[in-house]
Structure 1
Amino acid sequence: MPLLVMKFGGTSVADLERIENAAKKVRKEVERGYYVIVIVSAMSGKTNELVGWVETTSKLYDAREYDAVVASGENITAGLMALRLQEMGVPARSWQGWQVPINTTSAHGSARFVSIPRDNLDAKFAEGFKVAVVAGFQGVSPEGRITTLGRGGSDTTAVAFAAAFGAERCDIYTDVDGVYTTDPRICAKARKMDKIAFEEMLELASLGAKVLQTRSVELAMRYKVRLRVLSSFEDTDETSGTLVCDEEEIMESKVVSGVAYSRDEAKITLVTVEDRPGVASAIFGPLADAGVNVDMIVQNISEKGHDDAHPGAVTDMTFSCPVNQVERAKRAVEDARAAGSIVYEDLVVDTDVAKVSVVGIGMRSHAGVAAKMFSALAAENVNIKVIGTSEIKISVLIDRKYMELAVQALHDAFELEKA
């Protein structure tokens, strides 16, 4: 019999009524002839509550005990979902990560998958069980301790199970009915897409779209797992939601598929840096060691130029990072200067910027995307501070107050409301 993986996020299992609603969707797939592996998150808000309890109890907590506490939210949901399915007459049982087992690394709080053996679940399916309800977000270390995968880990759990069991599809049920061309809360013309390529979804997820966790899309792309994003709160069928799939499954791609944004960005500039081989390494090595997630990087001739005060070659180095990492970035750069590994005159920080990006696999074969993007922004008097590109995306840093205007202007410019 064919197998499906169905994942329900926190809002989809927020209370007993919603768990019952999710269970009805699972029963519907069983009645269609599928075995089902259900991956569940903790009830909405429960993980934050558990994290708060840990931090209140122990400021410098043991990461292993943190995982033991925080993983319990998913265990509760899994048990309740299995009970509800049993009450509906569906043969189901719950599984915690260590029971499967979901083997991970020992990096507590951010563990990675090592393997998911099929034997235990296959044995239960052979006994007549139709549904395995698995607690998402968790696994077991080589030392036998409970581990967690980091925020959004249940999406990744679902994709990993779909890959390990050769599932026909992995359905991600959430509080939206698919992937949109941009955030409908910002742009009323945003359109739900029927299909989107893995590469496009990966870029959108990494650039700020909150629909899918980035690691889950990476895993799906690597193992060619067909993902479907759809709503827990609507009646659905095979045509519902948005299918995230291989590029070959999409007949004709638009040049630009979507507009993404990230509100909480910062721009940091090192002014008058000594221009010599190895200077970039001397700057970005300490930033990496400090765990700063550097995104866009621009190096240009310094405004100071060559004069009596600056007889040697100098440059300005600009990069962007999340605004909540600014202090960490400043400390890393200042420590590097104090150690003598880099020389610069000033450190300029702008925490009032946003990143807006256009994404589309059609960019590979079409010219003029950048020109159209920049023209659309210019028409709205939006000044561009930094530009970054890849094969299928163009990103710009702009003043945060213009972010929503920029998103709407770009959505209109590329006519994304049209199918």
Structure 2
Amino acid sequence: MIYIDRIETQDVVATREISRDEMSDYLLTFPALLWRIEIARSRIELLNARKLPVLEDRSGLFMKSPDFRRRVVLPEDLHFIEAFMEAMKRGDAAETIVRVCATGQEEEQLCWLKVAGWSSPRDPRYYMGYLMDVSDRAEGIRSILEKDAEQQMLIDLAENPTLIVDFDTRQVLSLNTAAASAFMYPGNGMTHLDFGMLHHPGMTNRVHRLFEEIVFARKWEGKLEYVRRSHATFSARTSVRLLTLKGRRLLRVSLTDLRSASGDEDAEERTAPPPDREFARLEKELHARLKPLPDIAEILAVLHAFRLPSYDCDGLLFSDIHQRRNKVFVHWAGEPFTGMPQGEMFPFDGTIAQDIVSYKLDSLIVDDTLDSIKAIDWALFIPRGIRSYFAKPFYRRGVLRAVLILCSRRPAAFPTTGLPEYSILFDPFDKAIQAWRTRQRHQGA
């Protein structure tokens, strides 16, 4: 018999048997080519009989023959599969996706194959994995990207505020920077808002008629009143066009001749402090709050409590980087990380810091951790409900020493347009960490 040691639910821990027949059914019906390799002898000692449609009877050759792989994998993708095979020889967990072209048929068939592997936890001499056709998933992602790109093209060339609204749901799908500025929303803060939240309540009947008329006329022009995020109102000459994109009805809403309710379109801008001046004031205030603090937990608590003008976070992390020792010590603030030890150690490999070093990133934004393949996201963020984060590295003499990470339970909470605001935290954090390190060294002397 084969045993599953523990099956855990919230209230029950149970143990049950899986028969060899059940395991055999699982291996035979799993929708992928399953294999296990004895690394030292470079031989496949287990291979199921799954045939991938693109490779048919030659499916097993993909794992066995370098020559066969070179014949079927697109040349520009060969380095991905070669890097995977090198990782396999080292016993490192790895995965990649490559495009395969099946020749010898009436039409060449292009498919996407995913190969993933890892060392056996019981015996590192063995490396196991699977080869799976993910073409449907790849085409779905490509379709989404193409649709989003085409939507964005509809507005990117416009200098005046422009939005794309779904005709049927009336949700804002995308907008340009001018629209975000006009309505005073941060970054993509308007996406998924109902169009009814943007126009003045007094315009409800007129907007309702707009949606009725545009079905037949395909276009509408007139003056509407709108509401900014600050609840101030303004009017604008509005041009609306009904478009169809990939079977979806969209409205392209373009605003010109913007005027505030008082008739002075610049009134709000003159009463609000210039962003640069306000950001400088906030940065100075944060410096003053952090300067006297000796303890890292206090430093992070103040940083977390310090609210940016347009963005907030549910948690905040400081990664203390020791790359040569392959160690990252993580300190935290915020409710999602309650119960986690301060200074918990993680291996450098697989962390945000490793990505930053590998790809020489100035910063890193993850819009949805559920789409991530990074080990640290699944080990640290996802179990605590963190869906998106912004990470900023800090260097000393060219060596990465610290990473500040703003975390949110909402997806896409940190758009790139927020960088000027995030930067309010950078210098105060950096100086506070330097002072903390200095105190640590003196205490250890």
Do both share a fold (TM > 0.5)?
Answer: no
Tell me: higher relative CO, structure 1 or 2? Use CA pairs within 8 A at least 6 residues apart: 1
Flag the structure with larger Rg. Answer: 2
Q: Which structure has greater strand proportion?
A: 2
TM range (shorter): under 0.3
